[in-house]
Structures are given as structure tokens and as C-alpha cells.
Amino acid sequence: MAAQRTPGPDNTTSRSEKSDTGTLCRYRSAVPGPVDLDSRSVTWSYSISGTHGALGSMLFTDGPERLPGTWYDRTRQTNQLRSNEATLGLSGYGDKDFRKLARKTILNLNSPDRVDVDIHFETKNRVESILVRGKCGARSFRFDFNEVEKAAEMLPKDADVFKPFTDTIEKIVTAIIQLR
């Protein structure tokens, strides 16, 4: 059968390993059974938190395409909307199932699932500060819209005005990959 794998030798050059009794090779033979061709690589989880502006919106769109995995929207606005929905669910206007979902939402808001990388945005006075935190450290970025506008005035007519945005998103994605 095409989906079956027969045990065979997996040789190794290490002399310290004992021989497999079935093949007399120094490493254990593969276990017979189906070959998992659809095996998924490690999946990562990401969250976007804080108050995002234009770059955060771009990352919401671009991130899941470039970095497949589980993405969580933990921005202040979304958390407030979820909290309002839970309050409505517990207020008596909802049925039994709605109250049950409201309690689950409150539990999730109070103790969200752990993620591999959190991308935190803070937007203040046309400046976006981005902090990427992962298992391997943290990196921060700053994007000032005033500086980008001044630089755009100096560009030739046929220049790409979105280049500063796409370059910053590229830096953020690179940091996510390195820190996860």
C-alpha cells in the first residue's frame, strides 16, 4: 500500500548506539505504519494588543497571510466590546446559553490563552510605538507619521509612498519570526 511504510534501516555513524535487533543497524528502525504526509509544522500563536493605528491595521491584514497560526485580537477596543457583550449576557436579557457564553467570555478576558508572540501597539500624537515580545526576547519600533509625511514631500512623483509602511511591517514580521 502506498500509505504504508515498511521498517527499514536508519543508519548512523555513532558507535555508541546499540544495534537494532531487527535490522542489525546501529539505530532503531522506523515503526511500521502510515506515513503522515499531511503533518503540520509547529503552529505559532500571536496576539495584537494595545491601541493600534494604521500599522496595527496593516499587520492585522498582512500578518495572518505571512505568518500562519492562531491570531488573537486583544486590543483595548475589542476587549471593551467583548466585556460589554458579556455584561449584556449576564444582565438577564439573554437566554441560558447566552449567560453561559458570557461567563466563558469573562473567564477568557481575565485569563487569556498564552501566546508565543505578543505585538503591542500604543498610538499617541501620530506616533505608533510597537513592542514585539516573544519567548526569545523583545524588540521595539517607533513609527512617526509626521516624519513620514515630511519625507514624502521630498520624494519624486513616481516614488512609492507606502514604502515606509511596508518596510516597518517587514521589520515587525522579521522580529516576530526571530522572537517566537
The model's pLDDT over 102-119, given as tens digits with 9 standing for 90+, comes to 999 999 999 988 999 999
Contact criterion met (CB below 8 Å) for 55 and 142? no
What whole-number distance in Å separates Cα of residue 164 and Cα of residue 139? 18
Enumerate the β-bridge partners of residue 74.
Answer: 49
Give the count of beta carbons closer than 10 Å to the beta carbon of residue 143. 23
Question: Tens digit of pLDDT per residue, the chain (180 long)?
Answer: 444 544 444 444 444 455 555 555 555 555 556 655 555 557 899 999 999 888 988 998 899 999 999 999 999 999 999 999 999 999 878 889 999 999 999 999 999 889 999 999 999 999 999 999 999 999 999 999 999 889 888 888 888 888 899 999 999 999 999 998
Grid cell at residue 133: 515580545
Give backbone dihedrals phi and psi of 84, rounded to 5 degrees, phi first. Answer: -60, -40
Taking the domains of the chain in order of start, what are their residue ranges?
1-32, 44-75+114-179
- What does pTM read for this prediction? 0.69
